Structure 1
Amino acid sequence: MKWVHCAFDDMTPRQVHDLLRLRQQIFIIEQECIFPDIDGLDPVCNHVFGLLDDRVVAAARIVAPGLDPDHCEQGEYPAIGRVVASPELRGQGVGRKLMLQAIASCDDSFAGKGIFLNAQLYLKSFYASLGFAPFGEAFYEDGIAHISMLRAA
């Protein structure tokens, strides 16, 4: 798998298509969650994605500190969001590799800062194994249980 770290405007039209299609397939169709995935943040975020045969099969976006008005609890921290991997790759460690790439991207761009994320509650242990600690109470976002988590700098 080839890993790419880039700004949205540096993605090819095909990569944007594949990214949005993958997120639609997982978040909207598979998880049956109707929400505005195209929320206006992608163009101002950095993105990390994995390519197989020039096709986006895993992705996450990096939101700069304070950029997302809907998640102001992230405050001074960059946030990793929209973490997704193709169903065909499940059980092969791609999610962990993707998160390690996203963490490295945050560390490169926002050295010395912790990293925030809102994890789907069933993935709390997975994110904890990557150094994220839960805080606050579980909550529902778009009909799915989540927990806020922070990884220390």
Structure 2
Amino acid sequence: MPENPKAGADGISARKTDDPATNDKFTDTKKFGGEPGKRYKVTLRVRGVVEPMMYKDGQQVGERFYIGGSPNNATYNIYQLTVSSPASHFFFNRDDKVGHRIFTIDYTATIEIEGGATLTLHGNGQNGRMITNFSKLVVPDIAPAPQPYNGQFIQLNVVDVVEVK
């Protein structure tokens, strides 16, 4: 973390590769437990430091959570969870406009997942750059707190699972 980061500055991804188009792209896939054929309401706690992104043709729930739809800008970071069954996807950093700013997220969202479904967390910086954490924002109880992390991150925790009857 720089001593005095420049406000609004963007930086090169820490995942720097030889191809700028892939610098800020990641995918993490997990298999959901439970019994195949049964559906579960899963409450996620969503936390992190992110830059804003606009989405369209879906449903806004709360300030930052967005169900379905697609990205509505070609340069800012996308944070998305895709569920194989029932087929659905969700975005976590929704905002009314993009810009060289960052903010913390800390909210819960409840989604439906079928037992045995595949869950894929996608990150896509789209342009190989990110808005740095120039405001030195911290999300309590997530390392490296109480120190700020220079870049962006998102963390999803399952806080409740209830079978849909």
Identify whether the pair has TM-score above 0.5, normalized to the shorter chain.
no
Relative contact order higher in (CA < 8 Å, ≥ 6 apart)? 2
Larger relative strand fraction: 2
User: What TM-score, normalized to structure 2?
Assistant: 0.23
Larger radius of gyration: 2
